[in-house]
Amino acid sequence: MKKNHANINNVTDSPSLEPAFDKGLLPDALTTFDGNRIENAQDWNNLRRPELLKAFASAIYGNPLQSPSAIEFKILERNDNALDGKAIRIQGDITCKDLKLPNPFRMLVYLPKSAAAASPVFIGLNFQGNHTITDDPEILIPKWAEQKFPRGNRADRYDLDLILSSGYGIATIHNADIEPDRPDARQSGICGALLPASPKDDEAATITAWAWGLSRGLDALLNLPEVDPARVIVWGHSRLGKTSLWSAANDLRFAAAISNDSGCCGASLTRHILKDGKSETLNDIIRNFPHWFIPGLKQYIEHEEKLPVDQHELLALIAPRPVYVASAEEDRWADPEGEFLAAREASPVFRLFGHHGIPENATMPHLKESVGQGVGYHIRPGKHTVTSFDWQAFIDFMNANLKSKPDTFN
């Protein structure tokens, strides 16, 4: 049955949020650590971008992991008439030939069958296993998940009909295939395989491990002739939205990035702390999820102003490639206003490359209104999830902003 998709032009009143934030509290994305002003795209790429990337690694996420010399994508199953003839379905295992990993990563790919040429593809991680994004009975289920997570358990977050009918494919890997989401699991995932038993404080944390896995998924997609190598978009929701942004910052092959409700240490400004205490802070996130970040991040609890970076600069690291930030009105924990402000304050960097971004001093848009060029943003009614409205907005933004060939970095 055809789904009733949201119209992103059907706007309602602006959300009621706290008073204006003093952007003077933020580090200036266009001023280097030694005080020099960045005036053009070349200086951004050569001077500011490298030092910011290093600062995010050393202060928050940890250093990138070793890349393999080559990967193998062993196709386990392919059906060119999947989902009632709408899709090509591919399921396969990713292995790294020169790295001893604990297990392969299983990737599920759906591609639009009707595509006349290679398709753009959204790639992201999932929380509960590939079989949970759809009720397709042919999705392989690992033994550990048979009783734990039912087939199609998270299908409401993946509007496959909309994605495929819009000419896009989608690829996904279970995040725990790469690195388990537990503080005590460091030795059982990628970090345990690639790092010393007693790693340094700035070695990769879990978000960096997940980002590494997304790059291996991209490696595999680039081996498929049905995939347009210049239009692979990394996306994620919540903690996996944090991961998508860090992935795109590190791997320039991703053509664009999407964050959905990623909040603290994702798309939301760390220095934007709601007075009502309803948004997640560094103290909250490190107390609950210390493994996502390097140990040194805890020194900035209640001293966020001393962080050398803030999250608008993470968005800026993706420039000139398009980046889209999505929020939900009832998801106060993820701080929608902080996410909007980060997108707005990243815009001056995108303007160096000819993108308009979000206008300086712009206020929160109306509910269900998509704003920005090069950098985009919306806030919709509802809770912390992914909806058909979100997917329609992602697709519309990519259709308008993603060129057949990404902008040059030279």
In a domain, 112, yes or no: yes
Cα dihedral angle (241, 245, 250, 253), rounded to 10 degrees? Answer: 90
Q: What are 326's two structure tokens?
A: 């999505």
Structural domain includes residue 410: no
Residue 231 reports pLDDT greater than 70: yes
Residue 19's pLDDT is: 55
Whether residue 127 contacts residue 240, with contact meaning beta carbons closer than 8 Å, is answered with yes
What number is the average pLDDT over the span 361-377? 97
Q: What is the mean pLDDT of residues 27-40?
A: 98
* CB-CB contact of 125 with 189 (8 Å): no
pTM check: above 0.85: yes
Q: Is 69 a catalytic residue?
A: no
342: its two tokens: 């980060």
Q: Is the pLDDT of residue 116 over 80?
A: yes
Domain count of the fold of the chain: 1
- DSSP letter string, 173-206: EEHHHHS-SSTT-GGGSHHHHHS-SS--TTS--H
Inside any domain, residue 376? yes
In the structure, what pLDDT confidence band is assigned to residue 61 with cuts at 50, 70 and 90?
A: very high
Please report which confidence band the pLDDT of residue 404 belongs to, taking 50, 70 and 90 as the band edges: low
- pLDDT higher than 80, residue 278: yes
The residues that bridge with 202 in the sheet, in sequence order, are: none
Strand arrangement of the beta sheet that strand 119-126 belongs to: 71-81, 87-96, 105-112, 169-174, 119-126, 227-237, 256-260, 323-328, 375-380
- Whether residue 9 has pLDDT greater than 50: no
Band (pLDDT 50/70/90 cuts) for residue 2 is very low
Out of 5, 67, 188, 384, pick the active-site residue: 384
Q: What is the mean pLDDT of the chain?
A: 93
pLDDT for res 13: 61
In a domain, 339, yes or no: yes
Determine which one of 119, 215, 238, 247 is catalytic.
238
pLDDT value, residue 410: 40
**Encoded tokens for 259:** 């964050």
**How does residue 14 score in pLDDT terms, banded at 50, 70 and 90?**
low
Task: Say yes or no to pLDDT of 109 above 90.
Answer: yes
**pLDDT value of residue 347:** 99
Q: What distance lies between CA 91 and its chain's CA centroid?
A: 22
pLDDT value of position 12: 52
Residue 126 placed within a domain? yes
Which pLDDT belongs to residue 7?
40
117 vs 229: CA distance, rounded Å: 12
* Token pair in block for residue 86: 């709408």
**CATH code of the domain covering residue 95:** 3.40.50.1820
Q: Is residue 321 part of a domain?
A: yes
* Structural domain range at position 42: 23-401
State residue 227's pLDDT score. Answer: 98
User: Residue 146: what pLDDT?
Assistant: 78
DSSP letter (8 states) at residue 149 = S
Per the model's pLDDT, the better-predicted residue between 241 and 407 turns out to be 241
Q: How confident is the model at residue 242 (pLDDT cuts 50, 70, 90)?
A: very high
Given this model, what pLDDT does residue 20 score?
66
- Clarify whether 384 is annotated catalytic: yes
Residues 6+ apart with CB under 8 A from 384: 238, 261, 328, 330, 331, 333, 334
Report, as an integer, the average pLDDT of 355-369.
96
* Share above pLDDT 90 across residues of the chain, in percent, rounded to a whole number: 82
The pLDDT assigned to 408 comes to 43
In a domain, 12, yes or no: no
Name the residue among 7, 23, 2 with its Cα closest to residue 396: 7
For the record, the structure tokens of 334 come out as 């993820």
In 3-state terms, what secondary structure has residue 312? helix
Q: If you average pLDDT over residues 241-251, what whole number do you get? A: 99
Residue 8 falls inside a structural domain: no
Digit-coded pLDDT (tens) for 138-162: 999 988 887 899 999 999 999 999 9
